[in-house]
Structure 1
Amino acid sequence: MNLSSLDPKLLAAIGAVVAYLIGSLSFAVIVSRLFGLADPRSYGSGNPGATNVLRSGNKAAAILTLLFDALKGYFPVVIAQHLGLDTVTITAVGLGAFIGHLWPVFFKFEGGKGVATAAGVLLGFAPALGGLVLLVWLGMAVVFRYSSLAALTASIAAPIIQLQGWGFSAMTVGVIVMSALLIWRHEANIRKLLAGQESKLGQKAAPPAGQ
């Protein structure tokens, strides 16, 4: 099948749906089950992501979750690029994978905040872009030990870095949308940070109230 013969809008829609399904694989839950750990949605922040899996005390499970969550954002974008698809379609693919992580169809739409998947998408868009944003995250995480604060700072930095380094394009819009959703998904963390109640990286946490 010649992809270039398809309507660009249809191609972008198909790419986004396929990427969404890939993004819907909640590796925090999958890896936790393989390791015999509790469902990450049942303890700590209740967020199915690598940071919360780390609160279980199992570093290997957290690392694998981080890796696979990033790869499910990275590979769909890179594959779209290798297929020679246009920037709009590549951006739609990246957003599809990211949104799949936030609202996974296979896990009752109970997804994570999307930090690792967004990093994978950015690395797919441009390795230098993803690398610079990861450096921002790493610097904040090392200094302050708050994953949420590092993610918020990186979310703000991402569209600025993309715009300065690569200029305005459909990809810029995609990065802005991801950053806005990341910040929105961290609303509870922002409140905890302001109240001085946010858990630090690696800190074990009790189950949410009522569980």
Structure 2
Amino acid sequence: MILSYLGVAIFGYLMGSVPYGLLLTRLAGLGDIRSIGSGNIGATNVLRTGNKKLAAATLLLDALKGFVAVMVVKLAWHHGVLVTGIAAVLGHLFPVWLRFKGGKGVATGLGAFYGMIWPLGVICCAIWLLVAFTLRYSSLSALIAYAVAPVAALLLDGPLAAEAVLIISALVFWKHKPNIQRLLRGEEPRIGGKAAA
């Protein structure tokens, strides 16, 4: 049983660790995404290159790696689903290929939520979109969605799922610490604006 959990954790981590934002911007001839804007490898920073299609592709692929990792394990061994979801987010946050300096886990976490409990993914995406379109803060959109996520998971699937989702949410909040500080100071850039470090 321990080896099975370890196996799905490694699988989830490796799936989550693929840095699609970095790969796509390099293939498009835009250089290293880590050298512009916030230095992040996620879709929000890819958007700062001015290439909306590339940013959308990064968002989709980052979400898919969380979703696919969870769904593959769900088909093979249902008990490993929650561990896989957490591991996929950890892979995105700390990819071994980039010296453990990755993204903030928002899209990958949402993809994992869809695989774990699909209504949870719908709820969190709806919250993210609503806040993003009304207030135009990507970070605030993510923070509100991830604050709601553990409670929604508890109501939808019970305490075990809620604990896994809480771990993912805590990781996302931790990676957003600089954003939270800028939001409190009124210095956080809006979607489409110039990035802070």
In the superposition, the TM-score normalised over structure 2's length comes to 0.96
Distance (Å, rounded) in 2 between the aligned partners of 1:204 and 1:36: 21
- Give the counterpart of 1:27 among 12, 20, 28: 20
Distance (Å, rounded) in 2 between the aligned partners of 1:165 and 1:124: 14
Distance (Å, rounded) in 2 between the aligned partners of 1:168 and 1:205: 38
Displacement of 1:46 after TM fit? 1.2
* 1:38–1:205 Cα change, 3 Å: farther
- 1:57 and 1:204 in contact (8 A); partners too: no
Distance (Å, rounded) in 1 between the aligned partners of 2:152 and 2:115: 15
- Give the counterpart of 2:186 among 176, 186, 196: 196
Q: Which runs of 4+ in 1 moved over 6 A?
A: none
Distance (Å, rounded) in 1 between the aligned partners of 2:126 and 2:181: 25
- Give the counterpart of 1:148 among 122, 134, 139: 139
Distance (Å, rounded) in 1 between the aligned partners of 2:29 and 2:175: 28
Displacement of 1:91 after TM fit? 0.9
Structure 1 unaligned segments of length 5 or more: list them.
1-7
Determine the structure 2 residue equivalent to 1:182.
172
2:56 corresponds to 1:63: yes
Distance (Å, rounded) in 1 between the aligned partners of 2:190 and 2:33: 17
- Give the counterpart of 1:130 among 121, 129, 139: 121
Alignment of 1:43-192 (within 5 A): 43-86=36-79, 89-169=80-160, 171-192=161-182
In the superposition, the TM-score normalised over structure 1's length comes to 0.90
One-letter code aligned to 1:67: L
One-letter code aligned to 2:41: P
**Which secondary structure does the structure 2 equivalent of 1:161 belong to?**
helix
> Alignment identity in percent?
44
- 1:24 and 1:101 in contact (8 A); partners too: yes
Structure 2 unaligned segments of length 5 or more: list them.
none
**Which secondary structure does the structure 2 equivalent of 1:176 belong to?**
helix
Larger relative CO (CA 8 A, sep 6+): 1 or 2?
A: 1
Displacement of 1:165 after TM fit? 1.7
Distance (Å, rounded) in 1 between the aligned partners of 2:31 and 2:148: 34
Q: Which has more helix, going by share of residues?
A: 2
- 2:13 and 2:88 in contact (8 A); partners too: yes
Q: Deviations over 1:42-80 (max 9, x none)?
A: 111111100010011000110110011001100010011
One-letter code aligned to 1:52: N
- Output the aligned Cα RMSD: 1.2
Distance (Å, rounded) in 2 between the aligned partners of 1:205 and 1:183: 18
- 2:151 and 2:162 in contact (8 A); partners too: no
Instruction: Say which one has the larger Rg.
Output: 1
- 1:56 and 1:204 in contact (8 A); partners too: no
Distance (Å, rounded) in 2 between the aligned partners of 1:143 and 1:85: 38
Displacement of 1:151 after TM fit? 0.5
